[in-house]
Amino acid sequence: MADKALGILDEDEELSLLETLDHVLDRGLVIAGEVTIAVADIDLIYLGLNLLLGSVESVNRTLGTRERRMELLSAGARRGGETRVAVETDEGAGDSAAEG
C-alpha cells in the first residue's frame, strides 16, 4: 500500500492488509453480473446481482442476524446449486462461515 510519492502511511504490514481488506472487499465499482472469489481453491464467495460480501459487520448490517444470513445462504444454494459463503473478517481475524 505504501506509496512514497503520495506520502501514504507506511505502517505495520498487518495493519495495512487489514485496512486494504476493509476498503477493497465491499466498496468500489461493481459490474452488474458476477464476480467469484476463491479462497484456498474453494468457491467461497459468489457475487451476483445480489452482492453478499464483506466484513462481519458489513454482513451483519446487511442481513441483520447470522440466522437470517444462513437462511438466505441456504436458500441461495438450493436455488442455484452454488456454494455461497460469506467470508468474515472481524478486523482481519480470518473467520469464515461456510454453507455447502
Q: List residues binding another protein (CB under 8 A).
A: 1, 3, 5-9, 11, 16-17, 19-33, 35-41, 43-45, 47, 57, 61, 87, 91
Smallest separation (angstroms) from another protein to the CB of 64: 13
Smallest separation (angstroms) from another protein to the CB of 85: 11
How distant, in Å, are the alpha carbons of 11, 36, 68 from that of 43? 32, 7, 21
Q: Is the dihedral of CA 93, 34, 27, 79 positive or negative?
A: negative
Smallest separation (angstroms) from another protein to the CB of 74: 22
The smaller minimum CB distance to another protein, of residues 1 and 75, is found at: 1
The smaller minimum CB distance to another protein, of residues 27 and 71, is found at: 27
Burial 15-44 (b: 16+ CB within 10 A, else e): eeebeebbeebbeeeeeeeeeeeeeeeeeb
